[in-house]
Structure 1
Amino acid sequence: MTESTEKMTGARALIECLYREGVDTIFGYPGGVLLPIYDELYDADIRHILVRHEQAAAHAAEGYARATGKTGVCIATSGPGATNLVTGIANAYMDSIPMVVFTGQVPSSLLGNDAFQEANITGITMPITKHNYLVQDANELPQVIKEAFHIASTGRPGPVLVDLPKDVTVQEIDFYYPEKVDLKGYKPTYQGNLQQVKRAASAIKESKNPVIYAGGGVISSNASKELLELAEKIKAPVTTTLTGMGGFPVEHELFLGMPGMHGAKYANYAIQESDLLIAVGARFDDRVTGKLKAFASNAKIIHIDIDPAEISKNVKVDVPIVGDAKWILQKLLKYAEPAQSEKWLDRITHWKKVHPLHYVEPATGDGIKPQYIIEQITEACKDAIIVTEVGQHQMWAAQYFRFSEPRTFITSGGLGTMGYGFPASIGAKIAKPDKVVFDIAGDGSFQMNSQELATAVQENVPVIVAVFNNGYLGMVRQWQELFHNRRYSATCIQNSVDFVKLAEAYGALGLRATKRDEVRPVIEEAIASGRPTVIDFIVEEEENVSPMVPAGAAINEILDLERKE
């Protein structure tokens, strides 16, 4: 430990700890038990972003973390403030995003008494955090915060919660800050077993139909460069999961697109026909695998992951390698030799030509297809950060935007949280102010956190919300069309809000496009405006995401749902 330097309150100590961890931005919403902390924030050299709903604070902190690779920080008061964070915490946990969450709590003497605005937030969040703390002595606060940031950002990243009773924030202590953390029982493995790496290299050399299946762990470990080098060296095509998008350049000849339920046909065919599947930082979730017994049934599987609990959890693995993706790929590059894949790559090229992602333009030329909007955003701003809500628009963004760099696609993968995208885009834009940031949204999802327009305007955060307005909860409607005889129960939300007027009511710019030739001009106007902007795109009402694998089917049992105009 460092030597004690001065006496200060727990609230002041919290701010000092944040300085030591390099925190420059915190997203939050004040409340009674947080007043000592917010009084210290008043003079602190830390930017506080006042959201309009605590859920948005968690999503914004996560957007900040995903855009930078740093640990995101958010804060909320006790009781309902803390419970409003729960969805955002669960979202970060499912997608392995580093985040430290501070919650206010009633005074220690009232704990367990059902005091006003008391909630057992450590108990509530235990299943959705890597770890959490209830601090009952301010002398423990520096050590706890040091540990919280260490746990959140090391190993498999994730959220850590620190609950702060009000009396702890006013208690006076001799401040110190630990120089290091040594936690018994928490020793993440970074350097994979070298013998397993050599086994993987041997399997690659013998392979004729290899496929690399890369997930969000490639981005978390900053291993995109090594992934590209490995793919080129061993001559293997690469498919990336939804949260792995950007981890491999879309324009590269070896790129297969996204696999799974709404993946490219050729990605799914390649996985199913492979004799070696090299999984890197991916967890074989159900939206990728489809019917487990039929998934890559003829392939030997190498699985590289920092979390040993993921190995063989869903799919039996032949060559497990526990460790950091970047370290392991670097070692694998040293030992790996090219696969015997010339004929395989020719076959992949054929599949790409025969089964490309495609859509049919409206016969009149006036209607707007959602896929066309994504293509126009790509052409207008190739290096934009794309954030999404959850639904059809999310899948179209993953399918049609031409990602070339990691940390440029931010989306809710595991939890599938509607309302995620807009606050996350605010966090991403604050983290990367020189980047153009688009939130690709549905008219349903956007309304779940549209109040954050006030945050964007007040903080002068010029994010652009592209609302794909089809008058439906589109993805649910699509399932109702296909599997419930078009019985659109509770999915029609037509004429529910005028998004241009909504934007203007908050002081943002509101734009609308109803025809194809209006799409590019409003995108360019939004980019040039330098203001928070909402673009209301009136799109085809019953356009479906295609292709699609029905739930429970094998991933090569694909429906082509493109409507014929």
Structure 2
Amino acid sequence: MKIRATQAIMECLLEQEVDTVFGYPGGTILNLYDELYNYQDKIHHVLTAHEQGASHAADGYARSTGKVGVCFATSGPGATNLTTGIATAYMDSSPVVFITCNVSENLLGKDSFQEVDITGIAMPITKATYLVRDPQTIPDVMRQAFAVAATGRPGPVLIDFLKNVTFLNAMIDYEFIPWTQNRSTDSIRELAVSHGLKAPEPDLGDIDKLVEMIAQAQRPLIICGGGVVRGRADKQFREFAEKLDAPVAITVMGGGGFPGAHPLTTGMIGMHGSQASNVACNECDLLIAVGCRFSDRVALQPESFASQAKIVHIDIDRSEIDKNVLTDHHIIGSAKRVLELLNQRLPQYSHPEWKAHILPLREKQPVEEGEKLTPGQILDCIQKAVPHDTIVATDVGQHQMWSIQHFHFEYPGQLLTSGGFGTMGFGLGAAIGAKMGNPDKVVVHTTGDGCFRMNCHELATVQYYNLPIITVVFNNGTLGMVRQWQHLIYNEHYSQTTLDRGPDFVKLAEAYGLKGKRVTNRAEMEAALQEALSCGCGYVIDCQIDMDEMVRPMVAGGAHITDFLLK
């Protein structure tokens, strides 16, 4: 049947079962927003305060729900304001479709008002980009974009529609095809083959070889990476770890892929990894990394990483194999499918001596007593006050590491954090997306005073949509993680890291119509949390902590994984 081009875009969103979109309108995308007006009973649009906030919200929605997030923005600065969010999603393999509109065909390439080559800009930080010049291609492009974003290793995709493509009198042929069917159409199948999107079926010979390696190992260690979380392979991973009876180290992106309180968990690995995880990595004889890219925050010194071990890498993306750390064996495939095949072949193992050596090295995160408020007290209060399934969105820095070290994440999508790109300002947008996608769950946003300044204007979004998100500011009056490096490595040259300036975060919350409280000790923190949980609106807790609090442990970048600067 014949329908408007803009109508086809909305219908394609419905094909993909999209019910929530985050965005910010502008001149070139007005035709799309005009059509959205007709679909407001089917597609809920969340208007953020800034395009970057919309990008992080769509990302947080995707991570917390397992669905594809969707974000709208106009051309020029609207589109470029998305790039930090696109790169954040790309580095952490989060499936988001970004939809922008550009100037009309006759204005393209003429430095027209708010014109920018966003497909060219976004090409290195997306799985694919599409510049749509012909309205007849809209259904195929939309279906391909969602398939690319969600299939194989997930990631962001950008579609840029020329404004003339969205003219309200543009009519195209369209037939509604549910996504469960359109993923099997010829065009999508061809796309999957040509782009390597479909996760390859693991080679059974590779599976059997790993089974043999496991049988010979005396000191195995498993790393739970982000691929376990993205692939929702947590059940298969847990069965594998328990069959192997091996310690499990967890990367930042792996949080929630394996229960943080499980008896086999050794905690985070790498720069701020636990002694148990880092020592186990150094002394194991078989290291099995599942969905882990061996970044420089994990494999700080690649040439000496797990030097006593046979290293096995399981990953959906062949390009990650031997990129950072040379392996002895690898298996290409989705984490879920590889682990299913392994679990079918593995007997029950027992490694009591190895566990008795490693597991006692686990450090309980300290909760210091006394009148002075500490990070440990803050996190202990939160953990005791909120439901066990609470979603935690963090920004980047000391508070991020403290949060990941302290909380026991139990399921994929419970921890939302920018692990690869390290984006300050990510947390509040991600929390908004998570709350929109999980309205029945408590959402806590942990942040630092430096990070919070970057996107605190999204409190307007929190207020308008009546989202009871609890923002906890670890306010130490400094860029804490940078100051920690300056203290330990740069001879205490505290160059441009002291934040002796506004705003007053409590008054800021009140200015946005929210509630806030400044706390200086544990009793005040406990009282503020109870009020935040019961008030039914957004709440900002300004936690005053010492400027020289540090994240422990710490290994310097490029150092051996057990050369701790701090323990």
Q: Does the pair score TM above 0.5? A: yes
Q: Which of 14, 17, 23 lines up with 1:19 in the alignment?
A: 14
Aligned residue in 2 for 1:253: 263
Q: Which of 356, 361, 371 lines up with 1:366 in the alignment?
A: 371
Distance 1:461 1:193 in 2: 47
Aligned residue in 2 for 1:419: 425
Equivalent residues of 1:291, 1:554 under 8 A apart? yes
Equivalent residues of 2:102, 2:162 under 8 A apart? yes
Q: Which of 91, 94, 98 lines up with 1:94 in the alignment?
A: 91
Deviations 1:451-481 (A, max 9, x none): 0011111111111100000000100111111
The reply on whether 1:455 has 2:461 as its aligned counterpart is yes
Distance 1:127 1:144 in 2: 19
Distance 2:119 2:471 in 1: 34
Secondary structure class of the residue paired with 2:408: coil
Q: TM-score, normalised by structure 1?
A: 0.96
Shift of 1:344: 0.3
Range that drifts further, 420-429 or 366-375: 366-375
Which amino acid is 1:103 matched to?
Answer: T
Shift of 1:349: 2.7
Secondary structure class of the residue paired with 2:298: helix
Equivalent residues of 2:98, 2:159 under 8 A apart? yes
Aligned residue in 1 for 2:231: 221
Q: Which of 21, 24, 39 lines up with 2:34 in the alignment?
A: 39
Equivalent residues of 2:367, 2:377 under 8 A apart? no
Which amino acid is 2:172 matched to?
Answer: I
The reply on whether 1:377 has 2:382 as its aligned counterpart is yes
Deviations 1:527-548 (A, max 9, x none): 1111011110111221000000
Aligned residue in 2 for 1:350: 360
Distance 1:56 1:162 in 2: 19
Q: Which of 458, 462, 472 lines up with 1:466 in the alignment?
A: 472
Distance 1:476 1:189 in 2: 39
Distance 1:470 1:558 in 2: 24
Which amino acid is 1:492 matched to?
Answer: T
Distance 1:221 1:371 in 2: 32
Secondary structure class of the residue paired with 1:447: helix
**How do 1:276-291 residues align onto structure 2 when only pairs under 5 Å count?**
276-291=286-301
**How do 1:196-215 residues align onto structure 2 when only pairs under 5 Å count?**
196-215=206-225
The reply on whether 1:314 has 2:324 as its aligned counterpart is yes
Distance 2:367 2:55 in 1: 39
Equivalent residues of 1:36, 1:169 under 8 A apart? yes
Aligned residue in 1 for 2:343: 333
Q: Provide closer, same or farther for how the CA distance between residues 22 and 360 of structure 1 changes in structure 2, counting only shifts above 3 A.
A: closer
Shift of 1:485: 1.7
Q: Which of 188, 194, 202 lines up with 1:192 in the alignment?
A: 202
Q: Which of 131, 135, 155 lines up with 2:132 in the alignment?
A: 135
The reply on whether 1:510 has 2:516 as its aligned counterpart is yes
Distance 1:495 1:358 in 2: 31
Q: Provide closer, same or farther for how the CA distance between residues 252 and 386 of structure 1 changes in structure 2, counting only shifts above 3 A.
A: same
Secondary structure class of the residue paired with 1:466: strand
Secondary structure class of the residue paired with 2:423: coil
Aligned residue in 1 for 2:533: 527
Which amino acid is 1:440 matched to?
Answer: T
**How do 1:52-201 residues align onto structure 2 when only pairs under 5 Å count?**
52-170=49-167, 171-177=170-176, 179=182, 180=185, 181-182=188-189, 183=191, 184-187=193-196, 188-201=198-211
Equivalent residues of 2:247, 2:266 under 8 A apart? yes
Distance 1:100 1:476 in 2: 33
Shift of 1:327: 0.7
Shift of 1:338: 4.2
Aligned residue in 2 for 1:30: 25
Q: 4+ runs of 1 displaced by more than 4 Å? A: none
Aligned residue in 2 for 1:242: 252
The reply on whether 1:324 has 2:323 as its aligned counterpart is no
**How do 1:430-449 residues align onto structure 2 when only pairs under 5 Å count?**
430-449=436-455
Range that drifts further, 294-303 or 489-498: 489-498
Secondary structure class of the residue paired with 1:534: strand
Q: Any stretches of 5+ residues in structure 1 without a counterpart? A: none
Q: Which of 543, 557, 560 lines up with 2:549 in the alignment?
A: 543
Equivalent residues of 1:130, 1:160 under 8 A apart? yes
Shift of 1:340: 5.7
Shift of 1:402: 1.8
Deviations 1:278-299 (A, max 9, x none): 1101100010111111110111
Q: Any stretches of 5+ residues in structure 2 without a counterpart? A: none
Distance 2:557 2:250 in 1: 20
Range that drifts further, 221-230 or 408-417: 221-230
Aligned residue in 2 for 1:10: 5
Distance 2:419 2:132 in 1: 32
Query: Pairwise CA RMSD of aligned residues?
Result: 1.2
Equivalent residues of 1:513, 1:519 under 8 A apart? yes
Shift of 1:177: 4.6
Q: TM-score, normalised by structure 2?
A: 0.95
Distance 1:403 1:173 in 2: 48
Equivalent residues of 1:264, 1:357 under 8 A apart? no
Which amino acid is 2:371 matched to?
Answer: D
Equivalent residues of 1:306, 1:324 under 8 A apart? yes
Secondary structure class of the residue paired with 1:236: coil
Deviations 1:249-289 (A, max 9, x none): 11111001010000111110001101001110110001011
